[in-house]
Structure 1
Amino acid sequence: MKQFREAVEARDADAMRELLADDVVFTSPVAFKPYPGKAITSAILRGVLRVFTDFRYIREINDTGGRDSALVFEATVDGKRVTGCDFIHVDEEGKIDDFMVMVRPLSGAQALAAAMGAQFDQIAAEAAAEEAAKEAGR
């Protein structure tokens, strides 16, 4: 998905958020349960921006129907080099409704789990604030 790739490469968290469907489901490479919802998904993506360094996409694979994409990336987290893939599905409106990430090697996934774990209180607080703002705006 070209728009998401450009938003990530620009480190534009607002643009990334705008591409998410309200009912997006995020599946982490290091957590057992998926995370449903735009608020938590956008907060997780902001956390990822904080922990990944030297991030770059190296390949983009799209289906012929234009609804499924795989974005292969390389990054460093806590001194460990990781290779990963963002698997993205978009709904009929072109919004991301399914987002799954996989990373390798195991040592990189472990470093990512530790780094994101250290971010999780902030991630949860950001998601709660976004949900509260959404409720207040209704």
Structure 2
Amino acid sequence: MKTFREAVESRDLDAAEALLADDIVFRSPVVHTPYPGKAITAAILRHVIEVFEDFHYVRELSDGPNHALIFQAKVDGLDITGCDFLVMNEEGKIADFMVMTRPFKATQALMAHMGARFDQIKADALSAMAIGRSGEG
């Protein structure tokens, strides 16, 4: 099984999604309220990977179930640095996923792009949940 880092770096979002716990909580760098659930988290990941240009992880720190994956990318030509803070559950799935980014101008660009996509992100999450309930996929 791929690690989350390997899955994201290879853009294998199915493998990344397989590493998410059903009850994951996603904490965005641009929205106050956390997003609960695998479907919305996976939909956000699938869209943000399209928004980021030249995305790559540059460092990884681990302490038991806690992992910090530091990344660099571009948004609208602006350099952005961020960190994915992951907390694994007993099954080895990601139960808590918090993202922080800097600098502010690049974070604002990220917020604008993701905000413009959010209706589609929600629709994608609802579709994934419906497929999951029907036993398909």
Alpha-carbon offset, residue 103 of structure 1: 0.1
Percent of pairs with identical residues: 61
CA distance in 1 between partners of 2:49 and 2:55 (Å): 9
In the alignment, residue 27 of structure 1 is paired with which amino acid?
R
Structure 2's unaligned 5+ residue stretches are none
Number of residue pairs matched? 135
Q: CA RMSD in A?
A: 1.2
Alpha-carbon offset, residue 136 of structure 1: 1.6
CA distance in 2 between partners of 1:49 and 1:126 (Å): 15
Q: Secondary structure at the match of 1:113?
A: helix
Alpha-carbon offset, residue 133 of structure 1: 1.0
Partner of 1:92: 90
The C-alpha deviation readout for 1:89-131, integer Å capped at 9, x for no partner, is 0000000000000000000110000011111121111100011
Query: Paired residue for 1:119, among 117, 120, 125?
Result: 117
Structure 1 consecutive aligned stretches of length 4 or more whose deviation exceeds 6 Å: none
> What TM-score, normalized by structure 1, do the two folds share?
0.95
Partner of 2:69: 71
In the alignment, residue 75 of structure 1 is paired with which amino acid?
A
Partner of 1:5: 5
Structure 1's unaligned 5+ residue stretches are none
> What TM-score, normalized by structure 2, do the two folds share?
0.95
CA distance in 2 between partners of 1:38 and 1:80 (Å): 29
Partner of 1:17: 17
The C-alpha deviation readout for 1:8-35, integer Å capped at 9, x for no partner, is 0001110110000000000000011000
CA distance in 1 between partners of 2:15 and 2:48 (Å): 15
Alpha-carbon offset, residue 79 of structure 1: 1.4
Alpha-carbon offset, residue 49 of structure 1: 0.9
In the alignment, residue 125 of structure 1 is paired with which amino acid?
A
Partner of 2:28: 28
Matches within 5 A, 1:49-68: 49-63=49-63, 65=64, 67-68=65-66
Alpha-carbon offset, residue 73 of structure 1: 0.4
| Contact 1:25/1:35, CA 8 A, preserved across alignment | yes
